[in-house]
Amino acid sequence: MEANKLFQYNTLGALMAGLYGGSLTVGELLQHGDLGIGTLDSIDGELIVLDGKAYQAKGSSQQPEVIEVEPDVMVPYAAVIFHQAEVIFKQRFEMTHEELQKRIESYYDGENLFRSIKIHGHFSKMHVRMIPKSTSDKKFAEVASHQPEFSIEDVTGTIVGFWTPEIFHGVSVAGYHLHFISDDHSFGGHVLDYVITQGVVEVGAVDQLDQRFPVQDRQYLFAKFNAKEVREDMEKVE
């Protein structure tokens, strides 16, 4: 059986340290997975990968905006997988995101494997944020402290993303990292909280982590990271 491989390009730590320049094309990223998350060049919004297509949720104007991303667009950070559901369950009654997360975790075999998550359903509330485009002289934690947030009611769409075990905090953020896109592609972003009314939840186990580095990016290669600060910033923003 083929291993379920989580492909991660670059690390959140590099983003925290201000390396926002994209160095992998979306076209190449999509060769490694059909579901996932990330951000775009100059941290211009949230990347959502669903059914092999890439979308960008921008919050730079008053209205949230979602557009499909062309294959030549560059990303500084992303994580994707060819999602394979190991557990599928129907959520038939209303739950808050905390309640649904507990239910999802009740299906995990232990807590030491990454999971891929896909939830298609109807949400009575969906609250998201989008990281606004920025230059590298502004620290991620600083940019993140005033991100646009949007909340809508009664929306049908899909949540995609990953759950990271506590022992791998640093490689990624421990716990859930989820992005949302509505079925009509008019609303999306990084999920903060939600209330699901009904839906289908898919949980996939990850067998293997393929961690790629931007090996041709001089900025990354010679960056002096302040590891303590990076860790503190990750706690703050995710």
Query: Which spans of this chain sit near Zn ion (rule: CB under 5 A)?
Result: 190
Q: Which CB sits closer to Zn ion, 87 or 152?
A: 152
The residue (of 3 and 56) whose beta carbon lies closer to Zn ion is: 56
Q: Which lies closer to Zn ion via its Cβ, residue 178 or residue 196? A: 178
Place of tokens 């959502």: 48
* Distance of closest approach, residue 160 Cβ to Zn ion, in angstroms: 10
Q: Which is nearer to Zn ion, 83 or 190 (CB)?
A: 190
Q: How far is the CB of 110 from Zn ion (least distance, A)?
A: 25
Rounded to 5 degrees, what are φ and ψ at 180?
Answer: -125, 145
Amino acid in position 23: S
> Shortest gap between Cβ of 139 and Zn ion (angstroms)?
17
Residue 235: φ, ψ to 5°: -60, -40
Query: What's the rounded Cα separation, in Å, for the pair 60 and 132?
Result: 6
Toward Zn ion, which CB reaches closer, 32 or 190?
190
Among 34, 58, 69, which Cα is nearest to 186's?
58
Name the residue number minimizing CB distance to Zn ion: 190
CB of 55 to Zn ion, least distance (A): 13
* Contact between 191 and 161 (Cβ < 8 Å): yes
- Distance CA(178)–CA(144), nearest Å, equals 16
CB of 31 to Zn ion, least distance (A): 21
Q: Which helix (H) or strand (E) holds 235?
A: helix 227-237
